[in-house]
Structure 1
Amino acid sequence: MLGERLRDLRHDRGFSLKQLAELTGVSIALLSQVERNQIDPSLNTLRKLAKALDVPLFSLFAGSADPGVAVIQRDRRPSLTATPGAVAYTRISPGFGRLEVLEGVLEPGSASSPTLWEHNSEECAVVLKGSLVVEFASESYTLQAGDSIYFDSNRAHRYVNPTDAPSVYIVAVTPPSF
């Protein structure tokens, strides 16, 4: 489904594979393999593609939208995993609408992104288990289970787990841009 969705978005925006490769810094060969569902791209690659295509990251996996009520069963949540042993996200919200809610599991000693990054949203996170550091360019905040943080996601940021136990947290983003 991801490959077809990417190809449809690329065509809708009038991009050739070469143009999308230039916008993202991702090779044409890799883009072609992703569109043909031959490989699963990394989280960083997906972020680059979502930004270039001007869509929230999880919308790359979106199904049809039902404007009524949506029930998302735990075992059917769409998920994304960064490099093994780093961060895994599952989508709690249905993937349409003005709010994206994700559950993140950040492994010991890892970060949500190799570098600080920003996106045009507002973000609120609450730690469910463990400890979590939210880093910005000139400051950081250490959160424990039950603590929350709210910030403008236009500020470059990332989540870090400096401990030896997994961190589990919920993050809400509006409008969806993850």
Structure 2
Amino acid sequence: MPRKPATAAKSTKIRAEDELAEAVRRPTGPLRPVRDDINLGERLRTLRKARGLSIEQVANSVGVTKSFLSRFERDAVSASVATLLKVCDAIGVRPGTLFDPPATNLVRAGEGRPISLGGEGMHEYLIAGVGNEHLMALLSVIEPGGGSGPEPYKLNAAVDFVHLKEGELDMVVDGELYSMKAGDTLTFPPTLAHTWRNPSQTQPAVAVWVIAPPI
């Protein structure tokens, strides 16, 4: 596709080597704020240590610096979707297993569980699927200029579709650009390299993603 709100003192993006961006998350509309207990980096650090892997081993496997990985594990910086997937692969964990399933099958408006699957300028909410072997559904609020990051990535899943509820979204799948407007739906095999971003300079985009089977 999900981050802690950035404070005013940290509003400037942090860059470190190949890719770094401090998470800047300003929810749009009635969605609930991101909860402080959704600490993706901390969970990845716990899993890394449980598998007996050092920061240096994982950083070398992913192709990032130890400094970046250390800050990522402290939830001080965000990574692109591609980098997050590489970290999960290096540790040996499916990204979807990092998040607890919803307590109920009914997720009311504004009650999706905040999660982070990487990217920049993003709020993402789990609305269905973790703990379900068939699919995962996410609601994404993408700030102007935000998206998955510059590096294309792939998912080990059979199908991915995105329905754009509001705004604009540029999807690049296997080198082909799909410029989406509100109401458009794109279905594609996520095993193809893809990236996406909100091309608007002023308006957020709101999209629903369904991935089957869940990542």
Aligned pair 1:16/2:54, yes or no?
Answer: yes
**Does the 8 Å CA contact 1:82/1:88 hold for their aligned counterparts?**
no
**Does the 8 Å CA contact 2:171/2:196 hold for their aligned counterparts?**
yes
State the match for 1:156 in structure 2: 193
Tell me, in whole angstroms, the C-alpha distance in 2 between the residues paired with 1:117 and 1:33. 22
Pick one of 76, 83, 107 that aligns with 2:143. Answer: 107
The one-letter code matched in structure 2 to 1:77 is R
Aligned pair 1:132/2:132, yes or no?
Answer: no
**Structure 1: 5+ residue stretches without partners:** none
Identify if the C-alpha distance between structure 1 residues 7 and 161 changes in structure 2 by more than 3 Å, giving closer, same or farther: closer
Identify if the C-alpha distance between structure 1 residues 55 and 173 changes in structure 2 by more than 3 Å, giving closer, same or farther: farther
**SS at the partner of 2:150?**
coil
The one-letter code matched in structure 2 to 1:153 is P
**SS at the partner of 2:211?**
strand
Q: Percent identity?
A: 31
State the match for 1:93 in structure 2: 128
State the match for 2:178 in structure 1: 141
**CA positional deviation for 1:148:** 0.8
Cα deviation 1:112-150 (Å, max 9, x = unaligned): 221221121121110111222211233122222222111
**Does the 8 Å CA contact 1:109/1:161 hold for their aligned counterparts?**
yes
Aligned pair 1:48/2:83, yes or no?
Answer: no
Q: Which has the higher helix share?
A: 1
Tell me, in whole angstroms, the C-alpha distance in 1 between the residues paired with 2:175 and 2:72. 36
Tell me, in whole angstroms, the C-alpha distance in 2 between the residues paired with 1:87 and 1:129. 14
Tell me, in whole angstroms, the C-alpha distance in 2 between the residues paired with 1:31 and 1:77. 25
**SS at the partner of 1:48?**
helix
**TM-score, normalization: structure 2?**
0.65
**SS at the partner of 1:153?**
coil
Tell me, in whole angstroms, the C-alpha distance in 1 between the residues paired with 2:52 and 2:62. 15
Identify if the C-alpha distance between structure 1 residues 8 and 2 changes in structure 2 by more than 3 Å, giving closer, same or farther: same
**Structure 2: 5+ residue stretches without partners:** 1-38
**Does the 8 Å CA contact 2:198/2:205 hold for their aligned counterparts?**
yes
**CA positional deviation for 1:94:** 5.6
The one-letter code matched in structure 2 to 1:88 is H
**SS at the partner of 1:169?**
strand
**CA positional deviation for 1:52:** 1.9
Pick one of 95, 102, 105 that aligns with 1:57. Answer: 95
The number of residue pairs the alignment matches comes to 170
**TM-score, normalization: structure 1?**
0.76
